[in-house]
C-alpha cells in the first residue's frame, strides 16, 4: 500500500458527497484531478471502492469500510497538527457548527472575527433545515447549533445572539394589496411555505393558527432562497425572515405588507448540549462572543432598525 493523505482526503470527500463533481467543488480541485486521484487510490485495492450505475456513483460496502478507516486516520492526523500548534501557544482545533438555513445570513458574522484571530482553528459549518440541526445536536456531531426555535426535547445551554423578525412580503409589481383575515389567503393569493421541518414554516403555521387564518392555495419549496425567488417572480406571497431579504427590499423586488400581529419575532440562539464537555476551541469561541457580540450586532445589523 502506498496511498497518500491527499488521496484519503479526496476519497473521504467523494464518499461524503456521493459525487466526484461535488467533491471537486468542495476541495477546490478540477474534476479530472479528483478522478485521477480516485483511480490511483483504487489501484491499490483488489476490490472495487465505487461503482457507477446509470451514470450515478455508488460506494461499495468495501468502499464504505475504507472511508470509515480514512476518517479515523485523517482525524488523528488533524489531532497531531492541532496539538503541535497548541504547544506553540495557539488556539487550534476544529469548530463544528450546524445552522438552520436562514441562519447562513447570521452565523458568518459572528464567526469571521474569531476565525481571523485564530488561524489554527478549522471551521466546519453545516447549513440545513431545523430537523437535521436537531439531529446533529442529539447525536453530538457538532459543538454548537444556531436555531430560532429551541427544541424542547433536549437539555441545552444557550447564548442569545440577536432577534429574528419575519414579515409578510410580496413583489409589489404583482400584489398591490394583500388581504389578511379569517377568510384569507384565498385562491388568487397563494401563500408560499418552506418544507416540513423548517423553523420558518413552524413560525408561519403557528401565526396562522393563532390568528385563525385559513389558507387557500399553498406552494411548498425546500429552501429560503427558493421561496424568495418564487415571491420575486410573483408566484405568491410569504412570511419571510427579514435577515435574508435586505437587498431585495432595497431594490424594490420585495415589499413588506404591514399587518396586524405581524411581524413575528423570535430569537437566534447559539445552543449546545448541557451535558457536553466543550473543547478548548469551543470555549474560546464562547468567550469571544461574550466580549464581541454586541459590537457585531451594532456594526453588521443596524439596518434592522429601519424596518
Last residue of a domain, one of 33, 67, 85: 85
**Which tens digit of pLDDT belongs to each residue from 218-262?**
899 988 899 999 999 989 889 999 999 999 999 999 999 887 788
Residue 202 has pLDDT above 80, yes or no: yes
What was the pLDDT predicted at 230?
A: 93
Instruction: Assess whether 231 and 295 both reside in one domain.
Output: no
Whole-model pTM: value is 0.70
Cβ atoms of 208 and 183 closer than 8 Å: no
Q: Could you tell me if 185 and 170 are in contact, meaning their C-beta atoms sit under 8 angstroms apart?
A: no
Query: Are 134 and 99 within one domain?
Result: yes
> Containing domain of residue 65, as a range?
5-85
Task: Give the CATH number of the domain where residue 46 resides.
Answer: 1.10.10.10
Q: How many Å apart are CA 19 and CA 27, to the nearest integer?
A: 12
Q: What is the predicted pLDDT for the residue at 60?
A: 93
Domain boundary among 85, 101, 128: 85
CATH number at residue 144: 3.40.190.10
pLDDT of 212 higher than 90:
no
Mean pLDDT of 121-131: 87
Q: How confident is the model at residue 49 (pLDDT cuts 50, 70, 90)?
A: very high
Judgement on whether residues 156 and 173 belong to the same structural domain of the protein: no
Do 274 and 157 have their domain in common? yes
Burial of 4 (0-12, 13-18, 19+ CB in 10 A): exposed
Q: Percent of the chain, pLDDT > 90?
A: 42
Task: Provide the pLDDT for residue 143.
Answer: 92
Q: Are 99 and 127 in contact (CB under 8 A)?
A: yes
Phi, psi (degrees; rounded to nearest 5) at 290: -60, -35
Instruction: Centre a 10 Å sphere on the Cβ of residue 18 and count the other Cβ atoms it contains.
Output: 13
- Per cent of the chain over pLDDT 70 is 92
State residue 76's pLDDT score. 76
Region for 89 from its dihedrals, namely left if φ exceeds 0, alpha if ψ lies in -120 to 50, beta otherwise: left
Tens of pLDDT, residue by residue over 135-175, are 999 988 899 999 988 888 889 999 999 999 999 999 888 77
Q: What are phi and psi of 28, to 5 degrees?
A: 55, 40
Contacts for 274-280: CB closer than 8 Å, 24+ residues apart: 274/155, 274/156, 274/157, 275/155, 276/140, 276/143, 278/143, 279/93, 279/143, 280/86, 280/91, 280/93
Q: How many domains does the chain have?
A: 3
> Is the pLDDT reported for residue 70 higher than 60?
yes
Mean pLDDT of 61-77: 86
Torsions phi, psi for 145 (to 5 deg)? -135, 150
Does 12 lie in the same domain as 39? yes
Average pLDDT for 187-202: 82
Measured distance between the N- and C-terminal CA atoms of the chain, rounded to whole angstroms: 62
What is the pLDDT at residue 106?
93
Question: What residue has cell string 447525536?
Answer: 139
Phi, psi (rounded to 5 degrees) for 85: -70, -35
Is the pLDDT assigned to residue 304 strictly greater than 90?
A: no
Looking at the structure, tell me whether residues 228 and 298 fall in a common domain: no
Please provide the average confidence, as pLDDT, over all residues in the chain: 86
User: How much is the average pLDDT of 175-192?
Assistant: 63
Question: What local confidence, expressed as pLDDT, does residue 199 receive?
Answer: 82
Q: Is 170 found in the same domain as 24?
A: no
Q: Do 216 and 251 fall within a single domain?
A: yes
Q: Tell me, what's the pLDDT at 82?
A: 59
pLDDT score for 185: 52
- pLDDT of res. 280: 85
CB neighbours of 144 closer than 8 A, spacing ≥ 6? 95, 96, 97, 98, 270, 271, 272, 282, 285
Q: Identify whether residues 296 and 246 lie together within a single domain.
A: no
pLDDT for 183 equals 53
Q: 239 and 95 share a domain?
A: no
Q: What is the pLDDT of residue 88?
A: 60
- Please tell me the predicted confidence (pLDDT) of residue 162: 93
156/169 same-domain check: no
**Phi-psi region for residue 256, left (φ > 0), alpha (ψ -120 to 50) or beta?**
beta
End residue of a domain, out of 33, 58, 85: 85
Give yes or no: residues 147 and 283 share one domain.
yes
Residue 87: what pLDDT? 58
Q: Say how far apart CA 79 and CA 146 lie, in whole Å.
A: 26
pLDDT at 132 exceeding the cut of 70: yes
pLDDT in the model for residue 179: 57
Q: What is the pLDDT of residue 96?
A: 92
Amino acid at each position: 500500500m502506498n496511498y497518500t493523505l491527499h488521496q484519503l482526503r479526496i476519497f473521504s470527500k467523494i464518499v461524503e458527497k456521493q459525487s466526484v463533481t461535488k467533491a471537486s467543488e468542495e476541495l477546490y480541485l478540477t474534476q479530472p484531478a479528483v478522478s485521477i486521484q480516485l483511480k490511483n487510490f483504487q489501484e491499490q485495492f483488489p476490490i472495487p471502492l465505487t461503482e457507477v450505475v446509470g451514470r450515478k456513483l455508488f460506494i461499495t460496502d468495501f468502499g464504505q469500510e475504507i472511508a470509515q478507516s480514512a476518517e479515523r486516520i485523517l482525524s488523528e492526523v488533524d489531532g497531531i497538527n492541532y496539538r503541535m500548534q497548541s504547544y506553540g501557544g495557539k488556539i487550534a482545533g476544529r469548530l463544528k457548527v450546524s445552522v438552520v438555513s436562514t441562519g447562513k445570513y447570521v452565523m458568518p458574522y459572528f464567526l469571521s472575527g474569531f476565525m481571523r484571530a485564530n488561524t489554527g482553528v478549522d471551521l466546519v459549518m453545516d447549513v440545513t433545515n431545523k430537523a437535521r440541526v436537531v439531529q446533529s445536536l442529539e447525536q453530538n456531531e457538532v459543538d454548537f447549533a444556531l436555531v430560532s426555535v429551541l427544541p424542547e426535547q433536549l437539555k441545552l445551554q444557550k447564548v442569545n445572539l440577536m432577534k429574528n423578525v419575519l414579515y409578510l412580503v410580496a413583489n409589489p409589481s404583482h400584489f398591490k394589496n394583500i388581504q389578511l383575515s379569517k377568510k384569507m389567503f384565498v385562491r388568487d393569493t397563494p401563500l408560499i411555505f418552506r418544507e416540513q421541518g423548517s423553523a420558518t414554516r413552524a413560525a408561519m403555521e403557528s401565526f396562522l393558527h393563532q390568528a385563525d387564518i385559513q389558507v387557500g392555495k399553498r406552494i411548498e419549496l425546500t429552501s429560503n432562497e427558493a421561496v424568495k425567488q418564487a415571491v420575486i417572480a410573483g408566484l405568491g406571497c410569504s412570511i419571510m425572515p427579514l435577515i435574508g431579504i435586505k437587498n431585495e427590499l432595497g431594490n424594490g423586488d420585495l415589499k413588506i405588507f404591514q399587518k396586524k400581529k405581524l411581524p413575528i419575532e423570535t430569537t437566534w440562539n447559539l445552543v449546545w448540549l448541557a451535558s457536553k464537555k466543550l473543547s478548548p476551541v469551543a470555549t474560546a469561541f464562547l468567550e469571544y462572543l461574550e466580549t464581541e457580540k454586541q459590537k457585531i450586532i451594532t456594526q453588521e445589523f443596524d439596518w434592522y432598525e429601519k424596518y
